[in-house]
Amino acid sequence: MAKSNSKAGSLKSVFALLLLFGPALILIFISTRGCEHKFKELDDYGVIPKFSFTDAKGKVYTNRSFKDKIVIYTTIQPSCPDSCGITIWHLDQLIYQSLRENKKKMGHVKLVSVLTDGAGNPDKRIKDVEFMLKDRVEGFDPSIWIVVTGDAKALYDIKHNGQTLLQEDKKYFGGFGFQELMLLADKSNHLRMVLPGKTESTIRTMRDHMALLEKEYDIKAYKLKKKR
């Protein structure tokens, strides 16, 4: 019972962060006839903060690197998969495998995990983490799931409604709430969704929101085509 209460308390604390982005969590998706659908688009929380990350081969990634890409950002730790800010297995099964199996169609969607030491600080043990992923993730492809090192706090330095994602409390993993969060960025590098990555249900919801964002671009392309 104590373990159950502890888990419930942890999830409650993470969801408190989501109150900052509450309106985006309520989506109305109503199918209609024809190609188009009437639905509430994901809210736009503005441009993702500037960052500079480096992968195992020394390649540098900045905001510009993901122009015209849809990106899901997470953190990852060398202690994974046993002790992580997010649930690696569900991230793999619900999001990564879908991207891998549909690489030709979904090549513009990337999963980027920023390596931290568990206490929110940069960690450079990328090769160790990639070795773990290759061992545990079927068909691990570093061009789809990109592991980088750098200041993750710079990426998560996002404020909304007078609050910040850089909340500190011992109830969060490593004392920092941001290590438990996933960010969804659109092709213009704008933040469109924030969700915790600690449970199957929230990771599944992020996958659904990613699909909704894809649909938004499909509808825009369809409308543009109709005008021609």
What is the model's pLDDT at position 1?
Answer: 45
3-state secondary structure 166-193: CCECCCCHHHEHHHHEEEEECCCCEEEE
**Beta-strand relationship, 29-30 and 38-39:** antiparallel
- Residue pair 93/181 in contact by the 8 Å Cβ criterion: no
Can you give the CATH number for the domain in which 180 is found? 3.40.30.10
Decide: residue 29, CB within 10 A, 0-12 exposed, 13-18 middle, 19+ buried.
Answer: exposed
Name the helix (H) or strand (E) containing 9.
helix 2-18
Strand partners, 146: 112
Highest mean pLDDT range out of 139-148, 158-167, 218-227?
A: 139-148
When mean pLDDT is compared across 35-39, 115-119, 151-155, the lowest value belongs to 35-39
In angstroms, the CA 226 to CA 228 distance is 6
When mean pLDDT is compared across 28-37, 82-91, 124-133, 145-154, the lowest value belongs to 28-37
Whether 179 shows a pLDDT value over 80: the answer reads: yes
Give the side-chain half-sphere CA count within 13 A for 200.
Answer: 2
Annotated binding site for Cu cation: 80, 84
Which one has a higher pLDDT value, 19 or 93? Answer: 93
Whether 225 shows a pLDDT value over 50: the answer reads: yes
In angstroms, the CA 15 to CA 6 distance is 14
Number of domains present in the structure of the chain: 1
Mean of the per-residue pLDDT values of the chain:
86
What mean pLDDT is predicted for residues 119-133?
97
DSSP string, 97-160: HHHHHTHHHHTTEEEEEEEB-SSSSB---HHHHHHHHHHHSTT--TTTEEEEES-HHHHT--EE
pLDDT tens string 4-15: 444 444 445 544
Annotated binding site: 80, 84
Highest mean pLDDT range out of 14-28, 29-43, 146-160?
A: 146-160
Please name which of 116, 105, 203 lies closest in space to residue 153, comparing C-alpha atoms: 116
Whether 136 shows a pLDDT value over 80: the answer reads: yes
SS3 85: coil
Domain that holds residue 146: 2-227
**pTM listed for this prediction:** 0.85
Please name which of 37, 66, 40 lies closest in space to residue 51, comparing C-alpha atoms: 66
